[in-house]
Structure 1
Amino acid sequence: MSTDAFSDFVLGADVAFMDTRDVLVVSPTSDGISVDLEEQLSNSRLDTWFAAQGVKKLVVATGFIARSRAGTATTLKRNGSDFSATIMGALLRSSHITIWTDVDGVYSADPRKVPEAVCLPSMTYHEAWEMSYFGANVLHPRTTLPAMKYHIPITIRNFFNQPSPGTRISDLASDLEFHKGKATVKGFATIDNVTLINVEGTGMVGVPGIASRIFSSVRDAGINVIMISQASSEQSICFAVRGSDGEQAANVLSERFAESISAGRVSAVQVIPRCCVLAAVGQGMVARKGVAATMMGALAKANVNIKAIAQGSSEYNITVLIDQVDSERALRAVHSRFYLSDVPIGVGIVGPGLIGGTLIAQLREQRVQLKKEFGIDLRLLGIASSGKMLLRETGVDLDTWREDLENKSVPCDLDQFGAFLSSHYIPNRVIVDCTASDAPASKYIDWMQQGIHVVTPNKKLGSGPLEQYQAVRRMQREGYIHFFYEGTVGAGLPVMGTLKHLLETGDKIIKIEGILSGTLSYIFNTFGDGRPFSEVVGDAKSRGYTEPDPRDDLNGTDVARKVAILARECGMMLELGSIPVESLVPEPLRAVSSSAEYMARLPDFDAEMDTKLREAEASGECLRYVGVVDAKAGSGSVELRRYPKSHPFAQLQGSDNIISFTTARYFKQSLIIRGPGAGADVTAAGVFSDLLRLAAYLGAPS
C-alpha cells in the first residue's frame, strides 16, 4: 500500500501508519450519493488505535476509505480524499486542516474565463458551498461539514507552488477578522448551457399549490432545478434546469397542466434555451448596500440583458439568468466592477500621434497611483491610427504599444473599433479622439448610441455642421452618455470648464475675447522686435509652432473653430461659415501650390503688416490676433485688433493663450485665464483631465 510505504520513507520522525478502515465508520445517506460519519463509533475506534500505537508525532493515514457499520470496506464517495482530511481533522480536534492540491486556492472567478481573477485569501464555509454549487473548483459542501462543526479552518494550497499562501476557509467571525470587518463580494461563477422554463397565466394568481404541482412534477421526472424566480403578482413562475433537461421538463409540465392550458388558466409553458446562470457570492453582501444595484449596473453597461433574478434573504448569493452568448462577457463585467477598481474604464484612443502618444505616456505614469488612491482603473483596450488599429481584450501593453501597433495590428475600421469597445466586458467605455480629422468626429453619434463616452480635443464636431453637433449634444442629454471636450479651446487650460461653471451657476455671458492660437500668440508677441513679419513667421515655423504650412494657422480658421465652440456653449448656434475671419494670408498667396512657395513670396507683403505695427505703436498700442464672442450681439468674429500696452493681452509672452470673460458678475473686471495653450504635453493633460472628470461622473471619489 502506497501510504504504508510512504510512512516507511519518513526517516528520523516518530511516525505511524493508519489504515482508516480500522478507525472510520460511515453509513450511506438516504440518496446514496454520499456517506455520513458515525462520529461516536469512529471516536471510540480512534481511541483504541492510539492506545495500541501510542502517541506519535506524525501519523500517515489512508484517504478515501472507511468501513460500514457491518464492517464492510467502503469509500467516502465523491471528494472522498478531501472528506478524509476534514473527518480526521474533526476527530482529532485539530487547530487547522490543510488540503494540498494542484491549484493555488479558490479564485474570485474561473481564471480561464477571467484573466484578472485573483486567488481569494479567505472565505467562509457558506461561501465555499455557494461557489461549489455554481461550479467553482472548491471543496464539496459535505467535505466542509466536519471542520465546520468544530470551527476548524481549512486551507487549500498548491503542492506545486508552496510559497503561495492559498485560500483559508473558516467561519464568519474568523473571515471578518481577516478582512478587518469589511463586507465583501468574494466571487463570481456561472453555470453554462441551461434552459429557462416559464409557466405563466392569470389563472395562477392566488391558487394554492401551483408551485408545488410544478416542482413535484419536475422532481418526479428526476430533473434538478438550478434556480427559481417568481413574480410577486403570482402570474408566472420561472426556473432553470440543465439544457439537456429542458425539453423533458417542458413536456412533463405541459402534460401536468394540459387541462389548465386548455381552459386558459395557464397561458403557456415557455421554453427559453441557451441560457446561463451567473451568480455573485459573498456572505458579507447582507451588510453592504447596493451590491445588487452595482451588479445590475455592470451588466447593463456591458449590454447584457437579464432574463430572471433570484436572491435569498440571507444574501449569500445574487443570481441572474442571461443569454449563453453573454456568459463570458457578463462574468468579466461584474468581476471587473467589483475587483478591478471602483471605476474601471476601458479606453480606446484614435490618433496615437503627438498628442495621443503623449496621453498614453501620461496614462502609463499615473495608472498605478490612480488605481491605488482613487480606485480608477484606466485600461487602454485599443489604439487606432489612420491606417491600422490594435485591439486587446485584456489591455494594450503601455510599454510596447508602438511596436505592437506596427507589428500586430489589423487594418483600421472605426466602426469595428467602436463595436469592439461597446461589446467589451468592462462596464464603462470611452473613445478619446486625439486627431484633427473629420472621420472620427463623424462617428461620435454612432459610438454614443452604443453606450461609449467620447473625450476629444478635436474641434471638428464642436465647430462642424450644426445639425451634427446638436445631435451629439442631444444624445449626451438623453442617453446619459458623456461628451467632454475641454481640450478643444485652450488645450489644457480650464476654458470650457470655467465657461460651463459660469453658465450653470446663473451668470450671464456678455463677451468672450481671447488670443486662442499659440502660433499667432508667439508671432504677435514677437513681431515688433525689429524683424519683418515674414521673418517672424519663418522663426515660428522653424520652432515647430506652426503647421507644416503656416497658412493653416494664419488664415484664422482654427481660431474661428474655437469661437464657434465657445459661442455654441453660450447658446449661440453659429455655423462656422457665419463667423467673419480676417485672414493674415495675403490674397495672392492663398492659392499658391506649396508651403515653400508661400514662404518664399511672403516677404513681398511685409510692408502692409509693418504699417499696421507702426500705426499701433504710435498710439501706444500693440497688435493681437483675437477671437471674439459677442453674446449681446449674438455674433462671433476673428480679427487683428489693437490693444493698449496696459491691457492684459499686451502682457502675454511666448506662445501662451489668454481668454477674457466679461459677464454680469465679472463686469468691471473681467475674469482672465492665461497659460500655455498649445503643445502635446498640455493638450494631453487637458484630455487626461477630461478622463478623470468622466471617472468622477461615473462614481470615482473626488
Structure 2
Amino acid sequence: MEAVAVTRTPVLELPQHSRCVAALLRSPVSADSTARVSRLGFRSAQIWSSEFHRSSLRNAVPRLEQKNFNSTVHSSHADAGVVTQEKPKEVIFPQGDSWAVHKFGGTCVGNTERISNVAGIIVDDPSLRKAVVVSAMSKVTDMMYDVLDKAQSRDDTYTTALDLIEEKHRSTASALLGEGEDLKKFLKNLEDDILNLKAMLRAIYIAGHANENFSDYVAGHGELWSAQMLAAAVRKKGQSCVWMDARKVLVVKPTSSNQVDPDFEASLAKLVDWYAETPADCIIVTGFIASTPDGIPTTLKRDGSDFSAAIMGNLLRADQVTIWTDVDGVYSADPRKVKDAVVLSQLSYQEAWEMSYFGANVLHPRTTIPVMKYNIPITIRNVFNVSAPGTRIWCSPLTSDTCPFEDDDEIDGADKVVKGFATIDHMALVNVEGTGMAGVPGTASAIFETVKDVGANVVMISQASSEHSVCFAVPEKEVAAVAEALERRFKTALKAGRLSKVEVVKSCAILAAVGQRMASTPGVSATLFNALAKANINVRAIAQGCSEYNITVVVNQEDSIRALKAVHSRFYLSKTPLAVGIIGPGLIGRTLLNQLRDQSATLKEEFNIDLRIMGILGSKTMVLDESRLDLQDWQSIYDERGVPTDLSKFTSHLHQNHFVPNKVIVDCTADAVIAEHYLEWLKKGIHIITPNKKANSGPLDQYLAVKQMQRQSYTHYFYEATVGAGLPIMSTLRGLLETGDKIHEVQGIFSGTLSYIFNNLVGDRTFSDVVKEAKAEGFTEPDPRDDLSGMDVGRKVVILAREAGLKLSLDDVRITSLVPRELQDPNLSVDEFMRKLPEFDHEITAKREAAEANGKVLRFVGVVDVLKNKGAVDLIEVEKSDAFAQLSGSDNIISFKTARYQQNKLIVRGPGAGAEVTAGGVFSDLLRLSSYLGAPS
C-alpha cells in the first residue's frame, strides 16, 4: 500500500453554492443572455442580488483556486468567511488494495428501500476502506434536464417540475432517515440548493438560453442529493461515513461536446488535499460530475458515473471496482433476444470494449481506460441478486505483459473461443463501386471525408482487395443524407463512368462475434458462417480487424434475431434450440410425441439439445404455441385447445417464430397432399423429417425439385424411416455412395407385415390364418390389402432406386400383388375380404409346397437392379441357408451388392415395423439434424 503525507493548512471557505456560481460566472454565455441576466435583480440570499455581489464573487475566484483549498461540504449558505486551523496536522493518504470502489446506478438508489439496501451492501463489505460512487436517483437526471428545457423554452411550469423533484427527495429522505440531525441537515441543504436552482433557472428562463456549463451545473444536483442521503443511510446502520462532492476533486479536460479526459495528476493532488481535510474509511462520492481545470462544474457525459468509479479506482490504486446494476452480469448475448443467453464469468478489457461498441450492455469503452494502467478488475454485479458472482473484467496475459494473472482459463472464464455476440439494428449499407477506384490514391479518404461532413457515424467498413468497391454501414436514419452527399461529391466520376454506382441497402443489422481467443483459433469464421448458412441466413457484408477480436457481419434486419440465436447456439453458449411442428398425431406421431416427452429433459441437460414442439396438426384439428407445448400433457392440450386445421397458418406460425432460429416439420402422415408442400417449406428454410413414403416415391419431377432445393438452401431433408422404419438403410446407402462405392443391386424384405406373414407360414398353417393373426397383432394396416398389394414395398423400391441415382417411378416397377384378383374390388369391405380370403389359400399353399420341395422358403422381396435400371417386387424362393430365410417375427433385412461388396453382400437387419421403431427412426433423424445445427455429435 502506498501512502502520501499531507499537512492541513489554513483555507478560505465559501459556501458550496457560492463557489460553484463563482466559477459559472466566468464561463462563456451569449451576449444576449448576459445582458438579460445583468438586468435581473436577485436578493443576496439568491446569489446574484446586485452587480456588487457578482463582482465580489468574481474577485473571490482567484483566492478560491489556491492550491490548498479543499474544504469539506458545508451546509451553511451564509456569506463567505475564513476558518483557520491553529495547528497543522499530518494525515496519511493511503493508496493500494485496501480500497474497494463501488458504483451504484440510478436504478440501485431509485427509492427508499433500494437506498437502504445499498447502504446494507456497503456496510457488509469487509474491505478496510471503501469509496462508493453513486448516481442520481432513477429518472432524476432526466427530470433535471426536463426542467432546463422548460426554462429555456420559457415554460412557466419549470418551477412546478422542480418542486416535484424537491418533494421526491424530501419524502425519500424522511422515510429513509427518520427524525434526527442527518435529516435536518439534508433538508436544509436541499432547501438551499432548490432556492439557488430556482434563481439560476429564472435567469435561464428570461435569457431563453443556457450554455453547456449552466446545464451541467443544474443536471448534476441529483448526484449531490443521492450521495448525501446514502452517506446518512450508511451512518444510520452504524458505520462512519462521509460524502464527497466530486467537483472538488475530479478534474477533467473537455475534448468535445460529448467527451472529457481526466487529468489524473491534478485530480490526485486535489484528492490528497480533500483527504487531509476529511480523512475517512468510507466515502460516498458523487458520480457523473466533475470540474474543468478552471474550476467550472461539468459532467462526465455518457455513462459518467461508471467513468467516475474507474477514475476513483485509478486514483486510489484500488483492489477492484464493482459496478452494481440490475442484471447478473454481462451476457453472452442480449437476453431479451436470446432467452438462453448465459452470464459470462469473465471478460478481458479488450473483449468488453468490443462488445460494448456493438451495443451490448457492458461498459462504455472509456470506463476501462483508467483502471487498465494498474490492472484493476471491474466486476459487474446485480444489486438485487447479491449472491450472483457477476462478470469480472480485467487484463489478460494474451495482451498484457504486466498482467499479474497467469492462468488463461481463469482470465477468460469457460474455454469459449467466442465469448459473446452483439447486434446493432436498423443499419444501412452504402456501397461505392467502380473500376476507376482501383489504384487511385485518396478515393477512400474522399468517401469518408464526405461522410464525416454529413456527421454520420460509420459503424463498419469493408473493402474488396481489388479496390473496386468500398462498403460501409451507417445508421439507417443517416443513410439518405450520406448517399446524397456522396452522389454530389462524385458527380463527375459517376457521369464519366469511373464510378458505377453509389448503392444503398436498407433494413440491415450488424452481428458481431467477440472473443480474444479467436485470434489463435483456426476455423472460427468457418463455424460462424456455417451456422448462419444452416439457418438459411444471407450475409451481406463481412469485416474483421487484424486483432481478430471480433468478426462482424451484416445481415437483413428481419434475420437479425434468428442469426443471433443461430450463432449463439452453434458456439455452445446455450442449448441448441429446434422449433418442431408435428403433422399427423396418429399412431406414429403420437408415439413420437411420447418419446420426446420422456427424453426431452435428458437431451437438454446432457446433449445441449432443446426440442421445442411449437405445433401439432391433425386432419381436422391443430394446436399452436408461441414458445412450446407442454409435452407432459400434450394430448389434453391438443384436445382442449385445438382449433380447425389450417396448414398455411401452421406453416406461418413455425416460419415466423424469430425466437428459435432453426425450424423443422415432422410429417408423420402417409398423405401425398402433405408431401406436395415439401418444396415450399424448404424454400422458407424449414427442415423436413418424415417417414412418409409418398414424397420420395411420388411424381419424379416433384422429388427432383425437392432434392435440388435441399442442396441449394442449406436445409436438411431426412427420411430414414421411409424404408425399414428405424433401420439405418438410407444412411448406409448414402454412405456407400459418398465414399465412392458403386451400387450394383439392392435387395430386401422391406415390409414388416409381409416378413411376419411368411416367417410364420410354416407347417399346416394357411395364408389366411397368418394374415388374420398379423391383423390381430397390429402388424397390418387397418385394411390388410394395403400391405398385401405390394404397393408399400414398391414405393420403398422407388425410394432406394432414386437414392441410388436411377430415375424410376412407381409405374416402372413390376409389382406382384398377393391380393387375389377377385378380392381387389375397392368396394369390398375389409370384413368381407377377410371372410373370403380363405377361398384362395390354395394359391399360396401351392407355391409354398413347391418351394419346400426345392429345399427353399417363400419371401416377399423388393429388388433394385441398378445395372439394368430396373425395379421389381415379387414373391420368390430363397435357400434356407440364405440370410433372407433366417428372419423371425417382423424383422426386415436388406442386402447391398456393390463394387466393394460382391461376394459377401453388406447386410442390414432388424425390426422393420411397428410404431415404436418407426417413431424411433424419426427421433434419430431429429437428433442427427440437431448435431448438424450445433449440438455435440
User: Could you say which TM-score interval applies, normalised by the shorter chain?
Assistant: 0.7 to 0.9
Do the aligned partners of 2:691 and 2:720 also contact (CA within 8 Å) in 1? yes
CA deviation after TM superposition for structure 1 residue 92, in Å: 2.0
**May I ask how many residue pairs the two structures share in their alignment?**
701
2:798 to 564, 569, 584: 564
Indicate whether 1:6 and 2:241 are aligned: no
Alignment of 1:101-500 (within 5 A): 101-173=325-397, 176-179=409-412, 182=415, 184-339=417-572, 347-366=580-599, 380-389=613-622, 396-406=629-639, 412=645, 414=647, 429-475=663-709, 482-500=716-734
Per the alignment, residue 27 of structure 1 pairs with 252
CA deviations on 1:279-334 (whole Å, 9 max, x unpaired) are 33333322232333333343344444433333221223333334333333333333
Do the aligned partners of 1:343 and 1:376 also contact (CA within 8 Å) in 2? yes
Per the alignment, residue 541 of structure 1 pairs with 775
Alignment of 1:600-615 (within 5 A): 600-613=835-848
> Structure 1's 421 and 172: CA in aligned 2 closer, same or farther, altered over 3 A?
farther
1:86 to 289, 298, 310: 310
Q: Look up the SS of the partner of 1:30 in the other structure.
A: strand
Q: Provide the C-alpha distance between the structure 1 equivalents of 2:656 and 2:318, rounded to a whole number of angstroms.
A: 50
CA deviation after TM superposition for structure 1 residue 451, in Å: 4.5
Do the aligned partners of 2:757 and 2:770 also contact (CA within 8 Å) in 1? yes
Q: Provide the C-alpha distance between the structure 2 equivalents of 1:234 and 1:661, rounded to a whole number of angstroms.
A: 55
> Structure 1's 199 and 557: CA in aligned 2 closer, same or farther, altered over 3 A?
closer
What is the TM-score when the length of structure 2 is the normalising length? Answer: 0.67
> Structure 1's 206 and 647: CA in aligned 2 closer, same or farther, altered over 3 A?
closer
Do the aligned partners of 2:376 and 2:394 also contact (CA within 8 Å) in 1? yes
Alignment of 1:619-634 (within 5 A): 621-630=856-865, 634=869
Q: Look up the SS of the partner of 2:571 in the other structure.
A: helix
Do the aligned partners of 1:340 and 1:377 also contact (CA within 8 Å) in 2? no
CA deviation after TM superposition for structure 1 residue 153, in Å: 1.2
Q: Provide the C-alpha distance between the structure 1 equivalents of 2:485 and 2:748, rounded to a whole number of angstroms.
A: 77
2:270 to 45, 48, 66: 45
CA deviations on 1:139-172 (whole Å, 9 max, x unpaired) are 2222222222221111112222223222222122
Indicate whether 1:66 and 2:290 are aligned: yes
Do the aligned partners of 1:21 and 1:73 also contact (CA within 8 Å) in 2? no
Do the aligned partners of 1:337 and 1:344 also contact (CA within 8 Å) in 2? no
Q: AA paired with 1:4?
A: Q
Q: AA paired with 2:483?
A: A
Per the alignment, residue 894 of structure 2 pairs with 659
Q: AA paired with 2:793?
A: V
Q: Provide the C-alpha distance between the structure 1 equivalents of 2:364 and 2:713, rounded to a whole number of angstroms.
A: 46
Q: Provide the C-alpha distance between the structure 1 equivalents of 2:737 and 2:541, rounded to a whole number of angstroms.
A: 44
Q: Look up the SS of the partner of 1:29 in the other structure.
A: strand
Do the aligned partners of 2:438 and 2:467 also contact (CA within 8 Å) in 1? yes
Do the aligned partners of 1:341 and 1:377 also contact (CA within 8 Å) in 2? no
Cα-Cα RMSD: 3.6
Q: Provide the C-alpha distance between the structure 2 equivalents of 1:9 and 1:478, rounded to a whole number of angstroms.
A: 66
Per the alignment, residue 593 of structure 1 pairs with 828
CA deviation after TM superposition for structure 1 residue 186, in Å: 2.6
CA deviation after TM superposition for structure 1 residue 219, in Å: 2.6
Indicate whether 1:678 and 2:913 are aligned: yes
CA deviation after TM superposition for structure 1 residue 438, in Å: 0.9
What is the TM-score when the length of structure 1 is the normalising length? Answer: 0.87
Do the aligned partners of 1:582 and 1:639 also contact (CA within 8 Å) in 2? yes
Percent identity over paired residues:
57
> Structure 1's 501 and 44: CA in aligned 2 closer, same or farther, altered over 3 A?
closer
Do the aligned partners of 2:750 and 2:861 also contact (CA within 8 Å) in 1? yes
Do the aligned partners of 1:302 and 1:422 also contact (CA within 8 Å) in 2? no
User: In terms of mean alpha carbon deviation, does 586-595 or 654-663 score higher?
Assistant: 654-663
> Structure 1's 525 and 374: CA in aligned 2 closer, same or farther, altered over 3 A?
same
CA deviation after TM superposition for structure 1 residue 538, in Å: 2.2
> Structure 1's 395 and 125: CA in aligned 2 closer, same or farther, altered over 3 A?
farther
Per the alignment, residue 748 of structure 2 pairs with 514
> Structure 1's 227 and 435: CA in aligned 2 closer, same or farther, altered over 3 A?
same
Q: Look up the SS of the partner of 1:164 in the other structure.
A: coil
CA deviations on 1:146-205 (whole Å, 9 max, x unpaired) are 222221111112222223222222122367534368452233333333343333444433
Q: Provide the C-alpha distance between the structure 2 equivalents of 1:22 and 1:500, rounded to a whole number of angstroms.
A: 74
Q: Provide the C-alpha distance between the structure 2 equivalents of 1:569 and 1:619, rounded to a whole number of angstroms.
A: 35
Q: Provide the C-alpha distance between the structure 1 equivalents of 2:301 and 2:733, rounded to a whole number of angstroms.
A: 72
Q: AA paired with 2:676?
A: S
Q: AA paired with 1:225?
A: V
Q: Which ranges in structure 2 are unaligned for 5 or more consecutive residues? A: 1-185, 187-225, 398-404
Q: Provide the C-alpha distance between the structure 1 equivalents of 2:251 and 2:915, rounded to a whole number of angstroms.
A: 74
Q: Provide the C-alpha distance between the structure 2 equivalents of 1:572 and 1:224, rounded to a whole number of angstroms.
A: 58
Q: Provide the C-alpha distance between the structure 2 equivalents of 1:680 and 1:436, rounded to a whole number of angstroms.
A: 13
Q: Provide the C-alpha distance between the structure 1 equivalents of 2:700 and 2:277, rounded to a whole number of angstroms.
A: 95
Q: Provide the C-alpha distance between the structure 2 equivalents of 1:270 and 1:674, rounded to a whole number of angstroms.
A: 60
Q: Provide the C-alpha distance between the structure 2 equivalents of 1:644 and 1:205, rounded to a whole number of angstroms.
A: 76
Q: Look up the SS of the partner of 2:459 in the other structure.
A: strand
Do the aligned partners of 1:383 and 1:391 also contact (CA within 8 Å) in 2? yes
Q: Which ranges in structure 1 are unaligned for 5 or more consecutive residues? A: none
Alignment of 1:637-652 (within 5 A): 637-652=872-887
Q: Look up the SS of the partner of 1:601 in the other structure.
A: helix
Do the aligned partners of 2:341 and 2:573 also contact (CA within 8 Å) in 1? no
Q: Provide the C-alpha distance between the structure 1 equivalents of 2:314 and 2:867, rounded to a whole number of angstroms.
A: 85
Q: Provide the C-alpha distance between the structure 2 equivalents of 1:187 and 1:275, rounded to a whole number of angstroms.
A: 20
Q: Look up the SS of the partner of 1:225 in the other structure.
A: coil
Q: AA paired with 1:289?
A: P
